[in-house]
Amino acid sequence: MIDESVLMEFGARKSWYPKGELIFGEGELAKCYFQIISGEVKMNNYNYDGKEFVQGIFYKGQSFGEPPLFGDLKYPANAEAITEVELYKLAKPHFFQLLEANPEIHLELTKTLASRLFYKAIIASELSTQEPEHRILRLLDYLKKYVHQLKEPFSFKVDLTRQQIADLTGLRVETVIRATKSLEKKNEVLISKRKIYR
């Protein structure tokens, strides 16, 4: 999202995390801007029974965890490395200096955050009301259009596991498997070598 030369100019440092390691924990005060160089990160919570709820998954070039930075707030979720992750880490005061010096970057970041908020509002309203197939398509279309910026039919190879799709849509894995097979029959998705394409 933010060009690496700009990040480095304002003091960003590269950090590396092994698979499964926490980048930050729920309840910690937000102190840095994070942008992924390589790997995948998920933001999640656990309920009292230990069941995981995945808030979102972030990929190369994406940032995560910004909203608490703007409000001097604590993180509402954990950020965990799904794979080995390398990322840029920029201290909050330097991040704000970067935004003040680069209003066009500030505007792009605002657009990204607005898009995420819109998606979360849609998903929140649909988790209790919409059919599994609809929920899955909403998730895949969001990732295809806003994350990977693809348009052609079946051009988006879904890198999420069935479990991750279930976690992101509030469904059971068995339901995701049945629903994706049904979506394939309706020509909404393509399944090849156990991978889903939208």
pLDDT digits (tens, 9 = 90+) for 85-115: 999 999 999 999 999 999 999 999 999 888 8
Mean pLDDT within 29-33? 96
Average pLDDT over residues 146-152: 84
Local confidence band at 68 (pLDDT 50, 70, 90 cut-offs): very high
Domains of the chain: 4-102 (2.60.120.10), 127-197 (1.10.10.10)
Residue 61 has pLDDT above 70, yes or no: yes
The arrangement of strands across the sheet holding 63-64 comes to 13-17, 85-91, 32-38, 63-64
Q: What is the mean pLDDT of residues 50-55?
A: 81
The sign of the torsion formed by the CA atoms of 138, 168, 197, 129 equals negative
Judged against a pLDDT cut of 70, whether residue 117 lies above it is answered with yes
Residue 153: how many other CB atoms lie within 10 Å: 12
Q: What is the pLDDT of residue 167?
A: 83
